Structure 1
Amino acid sequence: MPTRSLMRKMPEGEIVISQRAVSSRHFLKLIEDTGKVGFWSADLESEMIEASPGLYRILGLDPDEDISFSIIMDMIHPEDRAAHGDQISVLRAGQSVCREFRVIRPDRTQRWLLHQADAIIGPTGRASQGIGVIFDVTAQHDAINSLMQRHDRLNALITATASVFWINKANGEPSEMPQWMALTGQSYGEMQGLGWLDAVHPDDRARTFAAWTTAVEHTAPYNTEYRVQCADGIYRWFNARGAPVLNRDGSVREWVGVCLNVPGRNRYGAPVPETGGSGTVTPDLPVSDGVLTPGQVRAARGLTNLSKDELAARANVSVSTINRLEDPGSSVRPRADTILAVRCALERAGVEFTFEPGRKPGIREV
């Protein structure tokens, strides 16, 4: 190994660096060549600094120029000077320094520096010498600022478009849903498990539960609409959308999503019918000739030679939705807009649905 050539054993068995092979100057040069670190030592009385080439590079100064503490302190950003302009005094008091601040270099560029220094106590008991190392940490700050900027943009977008932003655990159970709690008036304990469904309109619960469990079981995006009983006791329509956040191995880390307020309208823009005296809502399909039956869907899919997967993809719905549409015994009826999307997909594939008086609903080729 290359490092073995730099080592030799002393008679007592101790291992030391071979002075003939390398010196500490070689190590310092290797470190400083990264462009991210520089060293200094100084007489604290004279304030004059002996700086390494790396420090000159970080500060953007001419290597032939003498450096003093005052020169470096004058380079500190005006907004940071009040908090970090006392570093000489701190070292003279015999204390260590560990500070992070900005400097403005002679070329007017700004850099973030991490300064660590120690005072060396002289024979008189006073701090007479100082040594330190300065790291250029601009890249780390730029990365943090970029991340914070994206975070702020996301928050602004969510605030402008969504009533609720939610985070659920990997198994689908609620995790962080403070806006849901504010919207519905539910407590943290009340919404745990499937408790959040208690705030969903009774007529929408089975369908909402089926859509959510299907998404969780298949690690698929979630998109459905339901009415929520808000804290003021009024039911309002919301479009809930979510997606899984995956780990590197493909497992689900968590779920994130939003609830978008759609007052007075469903997802496709058709007016939501008024609630009758019984409190139930009959979906109003924007078609006048009837609602698709399970037999019609099965027959139309057979006539167009579409598989369930192909039809689901064309209608932008889940395969489980197609299964429910074709199952006459299903207790969960898809939303009106979902049925409409499936119908339009089948009609584009070349069939026409018939609803003739006195006859059963049927289909025919276009």
Structure 2
Amino acid sequence: MPTRSLMRPTAVPDRETAPRAFSSRHLLKLVEDTGKVGFWSANLESERLDASPGFHRIFGLEPATELTFSYAIDMIHPQDRAAHGDQIAVLRSGQPISREFRIIRPDRTQRWLLHHAEVIMGPDGTPSHGMGVVFDVTAQHDTMSALLQRHDRLNALIVATAAVFWVNKSNGEPSEMPQWMELTGQTHAQMQGLGWLDAVHPEDRPRTHAAWMTAVEHTAPYNTDYRVLCADGIYRWFNARGAPVLNTDGSVREWVGVCLNVPGRTRYGASGGAARAAASGNPAAGPVPGSEAITPGQIRAARAFLGLSKEDLAGLANVSISTINRLEDPNSPIRTRGETALAVRRALEKAGIEFTFEDGARTGVREAGVRT
């Protein structure tokens, strides 16, 4: 049983038992000298527990400190005590324990502990003694906390930059691209292989494909711009960047990257038949009349022409005010569903607005039935 007595000087045993005695005592000391582990044992019918020097060191106590169960429980962090203050009661009921919790040492520093303990039954079959081992796992918790912090920072950065984060397999094929699927409306099956290129503008597709295949072939960073047909039927410019994640032997484990929205660059609608025609590379098929995607400027102009507030327009279209805000913001990173944008257009047209999309001219608005 690992008790403090095992660590005290003892009389030299006889020759027959010496190797075993020295081995046990020295092994225990060797383990405890790491500073990360301590042992205890106790009669469960009493309050006093015997603890090794390593136990005292982890708890920040002087070696001569007399320990009781209550003393040890009181050192548990107040926020953890409700969940882990029952450990002695659990042992006295005959059940083993395995717990992870914080303590506050006398110098006010905090440590994370992993505690394993077993129960030894007496001759009458009731719990008699307990023995346990305590590990200082503070370093592991600090490492995990740092990793979670880095993860949270990365997620915040992606949200702040309106980025699409993607992960591809070692051969360059799509792996984890949920944000791309949300951006484009593609399904997981549709984007497999080189299917993701179907959402890239036909004029940009060959160049984008060549840039990606060159990066994969040469295990080189990837950086290119292209237009993406978004789920709302509007093409938007994105800067795509990626890099290989390498194994220790230099082989590629996976590819990671982002697609960053490029504000201020030309974007235009391609709803309904026009969107499908553009994605298929057939520009001969024009847009279906009345289904062209209206621009943020057209919505603002139409609302001003009618003297409507954002609240008024939201009520007419049966959408939220935040939806109107997104539709009127040319740099909004949040995409609006096509049917929602169409509902806003229909509401404005019903109120007397006609949207213009003449070839070679800027998009505009005018009073319905008026020709210039």
Q: TM-score range by the shorter chain?
A: 0.5 to 0.7
> Aligned residue for 2:146?
146
Point out where structure 2 has 5 or more consecutive residues left out of the alignment.
Answer: 1-15, 282-372
CA distance in structure 1 between the aligned counterparts of 2:256 and 2:248, rounded to whole angstroms: 17
Partner of 1:95: 95
Give 1:197 deviation, angstroms.
0.5
* Matched ranges for 1:76-155 at <5 A: 76-155=76-155
Q: Distance in 1 between matches of 2:214 and 2:203?
A: 19
CA deviations over 1:245-290 (Å, ceiling 9, x no partner): 111111111111111111332xxxxxx498999979xxxxxxxxxx
Matches within 5 A, 1:224-239: 224-239=224-239
Q: Tell me the distance in 1 between the aligned counterparts of 2:204 and 2:144.
A: 43
TM-score normalised by the chain length of structure 2: 0.66
Distance 2:244 2:17 in 1: 54
Amino acid at match of 1:120: I
What CA distance in whole angstroms lies between the structure 2 residues aligned with 1:273 and 1:230?
A: 11
Cross-structure match for 1:258: 258
Return the offset for 1:193. 0.3
8 Å CA contact 1:239, 1:260 repeated in 2: yes
Give per-residue Cα distances to partners, 1:140-173, cap 9 Å, x unaligned. 1111111111111111111111431000001000
Aligned to 2:172: 172
With over 3 angstroms needed to count, the CA separation of the structure-2 counterparts of 1:221 and 1:23, relative to structure 1, is closer
Report the TM-score, using the length of structure 1 for normalisation. Answer: 0.67
Q: What are the ranges of 5 or more consecutive residues in structure 1 without an aligned counterpart?
A: 1-15, 266-271, 281-366
The root-mean-square deviation of aligned C-alpha atoms, in Å, is: 2.2
Contact 2:236 2:268 in 1 (8 A): no
Distance 1:143 1:273 in 2: 44
Q: Does 1:55 align with 2:55?
A: yes
The match for 1:65 is 65
Deviations 1:207-231 (A, max 9, x none): 1101110111011111111111000
SS at match of 2:141: helix
Tell me what 1:189 maps to: 189
Cα distance in 1 for partners of 2:81, 2:243 equals 46
Question: Hey, what's the Cα distance between the residues in 2 that align with 1:162 and 1:17?
Answer: 72
- The residue matched to 2:38 in structure 1 has which SS? strand
> How many residue pairs get matched?
259
Contact 1:116–1:133 (CA<8 Å) still a contact in 2? yes
Contact 2:58 2:136 in 1 (8 A): yes
Structure 1 Cα separation of the partners of residues 83 and 131 of structure 2:
21
SS at match of 1:241: strand
1:31-78 deviations in whole A, cap 9, x for unaligned? 111101111110111120011011000001121121001111001011
Answer yes or no: is the 8 Å Cα contact 1:162–1:258 preserved in 2: no
Shift of 1:18: 5.5
Specify the code of the residue in structure 1 equivalent to 2:183. L
Q: Contact 2:44 / 2:130 at 8 angstroms: preserved in 1?
A: yes
Give the counterpart letter for 1:225 in structure 2: D
Q: Which residue of 2 aligns with 1:41?
A: 41
| Residue 159 to residue 273, structure 1, CA distance change in 2 (3 Å) | closer
- Aligned-residue sequence identity (percent) comes to 73
Aligned equivalents of 1:234, 1:132: Cα separation in 2: 64
- 1:124 is displaced (CA, Å) by 2.1
The 1-side partners of 2:129 and 2:164 are apart by 59
- Name the CA shift for 1:235/1:17 in 2 (closer, same or farther; >3 Å): farther
In 1, Cα distance between equivalents of 2:23 and 2:254 = 52
Q: Distance in 1 between matches of 2:75 and 2:166?
A: 46
Q: State the one-letter code of the partner of 2:229.
A: Q
Q: Distance in 1 between matches of 2:50 and 2:139?
A: 26
Aligned-partner Cα distance in 1 for 2:258–2:17: 61
Find the aligned partners of 1:168 and 1:90 in 2 and give their Cα distance: 49
1:20 to 1:95, Cα distance in 2 relative to 1, 3 A: closer
Residue deviations 1:112-148 (CA, integer Å, cap 9, x gap): 0111111111122211111111111111111111111
User: Does the Cα contact within 8 Å between 1:169 and 1:253 map onto a contact in 2?
Assistant: yes
